[in-house]
Amino acid sequence: MPGIFISYRRQDSAGWAGHLTDRLKEQFGAANIFMDIEAIEAGVDFVEAITTAVSSCQVLLAIIGPQWLTLKDPQGRRRLDNPEDFIRLEISAALSRNVRVVPVLVGGAVMPEPDELPEDIRQLTRRQAHELTDSRWDYDVEQLIKTLCKVLGVPYHKDEPQPQPQPPPSPTPPLPAPAKISGPFTIKRVLGGAAILLILAMVGLCSKQQPIPGPSIQTVMPPPPVQPTSMNVAGQWLSPDGRTYLIEQNGNQVRLRVIVNNQVAEVEATGTIAGNVMELRWQSVHGHWGSMVLTVAPDGGTINGSVNNDTIRQSYPLMLRR
């Protein structure tokens, strides 16, 4: 099957490109997905290497993030203005070789205007883009995959859990044959057994009617569990990057806000604190969401923990000081 080439800039869209690549490999196979041309070996003509790799594919996905158009090199020049920029070379090679080019917008990016692009990749603005939003990532990715299946002429399938085979039922053991009564005086034995059962039943009935008093049993209830005293975390906290975290607390209920420009709440989180451990769910103004698990130091002066971004499936540490 002709492959899919993923063109992306690490500083702009590495996270989105990585998650998209994982899903494409599930659908089309890892051998049919090409990316990371930046790992070209020393001594190899990189223009020729890029041209060969792009020409071997039928589709090129140009991942465009928020900084794709404006990202600059260490000298302060826009990367796209460099004729030897890898991204520019990849897209130019695809456009000039009749490779299907699909602009994929991530992180709220928009398509550039024609006059914002170099001449050799200006045709990119005439290609219909596909947007992958953080809030409905799975749905948008599946729609893109369906489009790629049509272009490549392969069936669409989505992995679903297969039912596990059940072990065959164990055979039911045969019931034992009823014991046969044999020997002499058979009728007498039966009548004697019936008489004994009758006597035992009468004794049991009498014992039920006249219970023998015994010592009373008193149920001892276990003591209720001791709830840990929640630490006081209300107030203003600062992160190493200079952001302000405002925490409000009402008992074990906690509200956290990340403030930028002294007034705008970039992130809001709510949850609970038990002892010195906070568990929060958060959402940002950029449409991302996730969870936090934070631990307050015994002296109450620092908070350490991890922040999980469920939108892009990444985690990173967090440290705060009063």
Domain CATH code at residue 49: 3.40.50.10140
pLDDT at 47: 82
Structure pTM?
A: 0.51
Does 140 share its domain with 16? yes
Q: What's the N-to-C CA distance of the chain in angstroms?
A: 58
> With left for phi above 0 and alpha for psi between -120 and 50, is residue 157 left, alpha or beta?
beta
**How buried is residue 48: exposed, middle or buried, by Cβ count under 10 Å (0-12/13-18/19+)?**
exposed
**Spatial distance between the Cα atoms of 210 and 231, rounded to a whole number of angstroms:** 61
Q: Is residue 214 part of a domain?
A: no
pLDDT of amino acid 303: 93
Strand residues in 17-107 grouped as ranges (E)? 33-34, 57-64, 100-106
103, 124, 152 — which closes off a domain? Answer: 152
Whether residue 194 lies inside any domain: the answer is no
Residue at 161 is within a domain: no
Query: Are 145 and 240 found together in one domain?
Result: no
- 310 and 291 Cβ atoms separated by less than 8 Å: yes
In terms of domains, do 249 and 135 share one? no
Final residue of a domain: which of 121, 152, 183?
A: 152
In this structure, are 127 and 266 located in the same domain?
no
The answer to whether position 146 is within a domain reads yes
98 contacts 59 by C-beta, under 8 angstroms: no
Final residue of a structural domain among 117, 152, 187? 152
Q: Which residues of the chain have pLDDT under 50?
A: 160-163, 181-183, 185, 190, 206
100: containing domain:
3-152
Cβ atoms < 10 Å from Cβ of 165: 6
Query: What is the DSSP secondary structure assignment for residue 32, as one 8-state letter?
Result: G
Number of domains in the chain: 2
- Domain membership of residue 166 (yes or no) is no
List, for residues 169-199, the tens digit of each pLDDT value.
Answer: 555 555 555 555 444 545 555 455 555 555 5
Q: Examine the domain organization and report whether 244 and 146 are in the same domain.
A: no
CATH, residue 277 = 2.40.128.30
Same domain, 18 and 143: yes
- Whether 44 maps to a domain, the answer reads yes
Print the SS3 string covering 194-237: HHHHHHHHHHHHHHHHCCCCCCCCCCCCCCCCCCCCCCCCCEEE
Predicted local distance difference test score (pLDDT) of residue 185? 47
- Domain membership of residue 195 (yes or no) is no
pLDDT in tens, 66-83: 999 999 998 999 999 999
Per-residue pLDDT at 204? 56
Q: Establish if 218 belongs to a structural domain.
A: no
Q: Are residues 7 and 146 in the same domain?
A: yes
